[in-house]
Amino acid sequence: MKKLQFSKICKNFGSVVANDNISLSLGEGEILSVLGENGAGKTTLMNILFGHYISDKGFIEVEGQRLTPGSTRASLDAGIGMVHQHFTLADNLTVLENIILGTEPLIRLWSQKKQAYKKLKTLSKRFGLLINPDAKVADLTVGEKQRVEIIKALYRDASILILDEPTAVLTPQETKQLFKVLKEMVNAGLSIMFISHKLHEILEISDRIVVLRDGKLVGEVATENASKESLAEMMVGRKVTRPSYEKLKIGKAVLELNNVCLNASERSTALSDINLKIHEKEIVGLAGVAGNGQAGLASILQGLASPSSGEFKLFGKNLVKYDPCYLTESGVARIPEDRTNEGIIGEMELWENFLGEELRSKAKSGFIIDKKQAVSNAEKLIQEYDIRCEGPFASTRLLSGGNIQKLILARSLSNNPRFIIANKPARGLDEGAISFVQQQIIDAKTQGAGVLLISEDLDEIFELSDRIAVIFEGKLQGPFDSNTVNINQVGLMMSGEVKAESLHEA
Amino acid sequence: MRLKTRRDAPVWLIALLPILSIGVAFIIGAFFIIWAGESPITAYIALIKGSLGSTFAITESLARATPLIFTGLAAAVAFRAKFWNIGAEGQLYCGAMAATLVGTGVIDLPAPIMIPMLFIAGALGGCLILLVPVVLKTHMKVDEVVTTLLLNFVILLFVNMLLEGPWKDPMAMGWPQAARIIDNGVLPTIVAKSRLHFGIIIALVMSVVMWAILRFTVWGYEIRAVGYNQQASTFFGISINKSVLMVALFSGGLAGMAGVSEVAGLKGYLTLTLSPGFGYTGIAVAMLAQLHPIGVIVSAIFLASIYVGADAMSRTVNIPNYIADILVAISLLSVLVGAMLTRFRIVWGK
C-alpha cells in the first residue's frame, strides 16, 4: 500500500500556476527525491501537505485516509514530520525542551521530562542520531541542530519524513553522516521525501526521483536509470552546459592581504591573520561553512569595514580608504551576499539602482544627478545583460532574483573591473541564471580580472576556481592549486582539520 | 482575512487617495455634527464659507497655511529618510527665539538684508536644537521619537521662562510677550488689510527647493535611499549618519523658519501662543501629502482651511470648533489606511 499519495493537486496564486495537476506517491521504506528549480512548485506542494495552503483541486491520502486540508495538526497526527531548511528551534532551550515543546497538553502541573528523556535516548540510539539531550541548542553545530530537528519529528512518531534542502548547510562529511542515518530510518520502515537541487546527492540517496518544472510533474525515474545530465535536462527543460573554466597565465597581484585581523561583530566571527594573494586572470574560491568569517572578509574587501590590524594592498598599493565608492572607482567590482536587501533598493527605479556606488562620481559636478545619461546607460545594460523588466523606470522590487543578480553584475562588471569580490553570486538562482552568472565571472577573468569567489557550494568552487582556500573559525587555509585537492579534503578542512604542510603552496 | 502584497499600485489610485480620505473624513465627521445637534449640510456650508467664501476668508486660510507648509516640509523631508522628527513644535519656537534675539533691535539693517537674516537665524536655531537628538541617535542609538518629542516641552518651558523673565516686554502691559520685531524685520503683507504676509512666498519657494533637492540631486537620492533600505545604502557607500545629520539640518531649519514667519509676519512678537501646535499638525500635513514637497502645499492649505472654516462655523452654527480636529484626525487615519491599501490587497478567507 502507498504510504502517501498526492492526487491531482492544483494550486494557483492569482495568474501564477504553482502546482498543475500533480500526482505522486511515496511507498513504505522508500526515499523519494523531489527535484526542481526555485519556483518549480516544490515548496508549494509541501506547504499543501503541511496544511499551510489549501489546494484548489485534488487531495492527499496518508495510508488510504484522506488528509484534512488546511490543518497542520491533522498532518502531524497523520505521522508527517518535516525538517525545514531553516531550523525552527529555540536557541535558549535545551535539546530535550525543544523536542517536547508543543507535544505536551496545555494544562499540566509538571512536564513528563523523564519519560521524554527515555524516549529520546532510545530514538537516538536506534538511528545513530547521537545528541546530548541536556545541551543548549545555541551551543550546537549546524549538523547537530539538524539532528535535533530530525529527532523532533521522530519523537512525534512520524512515519513520513520530509527533508527540505537538508544538505545546504552541511559539510560533505556531515552530509555522508546524514545519509547513513536516513538509510537506517528507511530500513526501519520510515518513508522519506528528500527535496533538493543537488544532483549528485539525489543520485546517491534516493530510490526514485520525481522532477517538477513550472508547477508540473515532468518526469519520474528510478534512480538506477538516471544520470546527472538527464536530470538536469529534465529540471531545466533543455540541455544545460555549465561554463567550464580554463587555467590562464596569471598576471600581477591585484589583491594582497597580509596578517589581516578583524574583531568579532554582529556581522561576522573574528578573523585572525588572513594572508591571501590574488592575481590577474585567476579565480580563487573560498570554501567554508556559513558563519566562519566569510562575511567579515567580504566586508573588508568591499570597503564596509576596516581591518583591526594587518595590511590590505590593492593593485600593489596600500589601501588608504575603506569606502565602497573609492573601491569601485579604483576598479573593484562588488557582488553582495544578499542581493535583494543589500545589492539593490527595491523601492527605487531600475535606473537609480544602476547608479549604486557611482552615484557621486557620475553626478554633474558631484551633485546634480545626470538622469538622461543614467537612464540611457540603464537601457544599454538592460539590453546587454538581457534583464527582463518593463524598462529603466520599473520599480526594482518587481524583478526576479535572477534578474536582480543580472542588474548587480551589469552595474559592477560593465566598468571592466580588475578585482571582483563575488559573495555567493549564484546562490538561490535557477540553472539558467547560474550559468549566466558563472559565465560572466569567467569572462571577466579572461579579460584580466582577479576574482575571489565566496561560496558554500563546493561544486561551484571546484568548477570555477584556479585555486581554493578554506575558511574555518576565522582562519584561512590555502589557497591550494585546485588540482592538488579534492572535494573530500576541502570538506575536512571546512570542519577544522588542518591540511598537511606538504601540499601547502608558497 | 489576510493581506497580500500588490504589484505596483496604479498611479490614479495613489493620486485619488488623499481626496478619497478627505471624503471619508467629511462623511464620518457628519455623524459627529448630527450628534452635536446640527445639520451637517448647514455646518459644512458654514465651514466652506468661513474658509473660502470671501477674500478675507481665503487670506486667513492662506495665512494659517504658511507655518504649516514649513512644518509640513520639515516632517516630509525627515520622514523620507525615516528620521522621525516629532519635535518641529520645539524647533519652531527655537526659530522664533532666534528671530527675536536678532530682530528686536540689536541690529537694524534695511529690510532686504534684515529679513533674510532673520530666516537664516531662525533656521540655525531650529537646526542647533535638533542636533542634540541627532547626536544621541548616531552615537548612542537613542530613539529620536522620544528625544525630539520630549525636547518640545523643555523648549516651551524655556520660552515661558524667557517671557516671564529677561525677555518680558515692559511695554506689554503685563502680558508675557517679548519685544516687537523692528519695522525693517517685519514681513510685508501681500493683500492689503489682511494678515496674509510675505512668509507664504518663502514657504512656496522652500517647497520647490526641497522638491528639486529630493528629485534631482545626490542628496535627495541619499535621503530616499537611507529611508528605504539602510543596508543597501551602506553597501552603496552612503554614510547613514551623515545622511541623518543632513536630513536633520533640513528638517530643523524648515521648522525654525516657520517660527520666524509667524513672529516676523503674523504676530510681530514672540508669545507662548505663537503656535497652536503647528509643529504637530505639520506631521499630518506631510502624511496627507504622502511626503511630497509640492503636495505639502496643497495639504497645508487644505488643513488650514478646515481649521479656519471650523472657527467660522463655530461662530455661526452652534458647534464647537473641535470638529476641525476630528476632521483632520479622520482624514489622516484614512490616508494611512489608504496608503496601506495601495501596497496590500485584502483577501478574505484563508
A194 sits in the region (left: phi over 0; alpha: psi -120 to 50; else beta) called beta
Residue B22 has pLDDT above 70, yes or no: yes
What per-residue confidence (pLDDT) applies to B330? 85
B141 to chain A, any CB pair closer than 8 A? The answer is: no
What per-residue confidence (pLDDT) applies to B3? 64
Tens-place pLDDT, residues A112-148: 778 888 888 888 888 877 888 888 888 887 778 888 8
DSSP type of residue A352: H
Q: How far is B232 from chain A (nearest CA, A)?
A: 4
DSSP type of residue A243: -
Q: Rg of chain B over CA atoms, in angstroms?
A: 21
B229 to chain A, any CB pair closer than 8 A? The answer is: yes
Q: How far is B228 from chain A (nearest CA, A)?
A: 7
Q: How far is A342 from chain B (nearest CA, A)?
A: 4
Tens-place pLDDT, residues A343-358: 999 889 999 999 988 8
Please report residues of A whose CB lies closer than 8 A to that of B220: 369
Distance separating alpha carbons of residues B88 and B283, to the nearest angstrom: 9
Q: How far is CA B196 from CA A77, A499, B99, B296, B307, in A?
A: 74, 82, 19, 18, 16
Buried b (16+ CB within 10 A) or exposed e, B110-125: eeeebbebbbbbbbbb
Would you call A325 and B231 a contact, using CB atoms and an 8 Å cutoff? no
Residue B248 has pLDDT above 90, yes or no: yes
Q: Give the CB-side neighbour count of residue B76, counting CA atoms within 13 A.
A: 30
What per-residue confidence (pLDDT) applies to A216? 87
Please report residues of B whose CB lies closer than 8 A to that of A299: none
- Which of these ranges, B85-99, B251-265, B321-335, has the smallest mean pLDDT? B321-335
All structural domains of chain B with their residue ranges? 68-293
Question: pLDDT grade, residue B188 (50/70/90)?
Answer: very high
Q: Which of A345, A368, A398 sits opposite B216 (nearest CB)?
A: A368
What per-residue confidence (pLDDT) applies to A505? 46
Give the Cβ contact number of residue B174 at 10 Å: 8
Do A173 and A495 contact (CB within 8 A), yes or no?
yes
Residue B176 has pLDDT above 80, yes or no: yes
Distance separating alpha carbons of residues B90 and B96, to the nearest angstrom: 10
Please report residues of B whose CB lies closer than 8 A to that of A399: none
All structural domains of chain A with their residue ranges? 2-236, 241-331+416-506, 344-414
Do A313 and A322 contact (CB within 8 A), yes or no?
no
Residue of A nearest to B215 (CA): A369
User: Per this entry, what is the length of chain B?
Assistant: 350
Write out the DSSP string of B204-230: HHHHHHHHHHHHHBHHHHHHHHHHH-H
What per-residue confidence (pLDDT) applies to B350? 47
B218 to chain A, any CB pair closer than 8 A? The answer is: yes
Give the Cβ contact number of residue B3 at 10 Å: 12
Where are the alpha helices (H) located in A109-171, listed in sequence order?
A: 113-127, 142-155
Mean pLDDT of all residues in chain B?
A: 89
Distance separating alpha carbons of residues A269 and A474, to the nearest angstrom: 6
Q: Which residue has the cell 581554493?
A: A468
> Cis omega (within 30 of 0) on the bond before A133?
no
DSSP bridge partners of A12: A17
Q: Which residue has the cell 569580490?
A: A421
Q: Which of B157, B349, B134 is nearest to B272 (CA)?
A: B157
Please report residues of A whose CB lies closer than 8 A to that of B218: 359-360, 363, 366-369
- What average pLDDT does range B338-345 have in this prediction? 74
B35 to chain A, any CB pair closer than 8 A? The answer is: no
A418 sits in the region (left: phi over 0; alpha: psi -120 to 50; else beta) called alpha
Enter the pTM of the model: 0.78
SS3 content of chain B, % helix, strand, coil (to 5): 75, 5, 25
Distance separating alpha carbons of residues A264 and A297, to the nearest angstrom: 11
pLDDT-flagged residues of chain A (< 50)? 502-506
Would you call B233 and A70 a contact, using CB atoms and an 8 Å cutoff? no
Distance separating alpha carbons of residues B94 and A364, to the nearest angstrom: 36
Query: A49: which 3 cell numbers?
Result: 501537505
Q: How far is CA A332 from CA A243, A251, A255, A295, A377, in A?
A: 23, 16, 10, 17, 19
Contacts of B95 (CB under 8 A, 6+ apart): B121, B122, B123, B125, B126, B255, B256, B257, B258, B259, B260
Would you call B235 and A54 a contact, using CB atoms and an 8 Å cutoff? no
CATH superfamily of A2-236: P-loop containing nucleotide triphosphate hydrolases (3.40.50.300)
Distance separating alpha carbons of residues B48 and B310, to the nearest angstrom: 9
What per-residue confidence (pLDDT) applies to B112? 92
Distance separating alpha carbons of residues B270 and B93, to the nearest angstrom: 9
Q: Is A241-331+416-506 the same fold as A2-236?
A: yes
Distance separating alpha carbons of residues A9 and A27, to the nearest angstrom: 18
- Cα B168 to chain centroid, rounded: 27
Angle between the N-to-C axes of helices A142-155 and A172-187, in degrees from 0 to 180, rounded to the nearest 10: 10
3-class SS at A153?
helix
For A241-331+416-506, the fitting CATH number among 3.40.50.300, 3.40.605.10, 3.40.50.2300, 3.30.70.890 is 3.40.50.300
Dihedral angle sign, alpha carbons of residues A456, A459, A460, A462:
positive
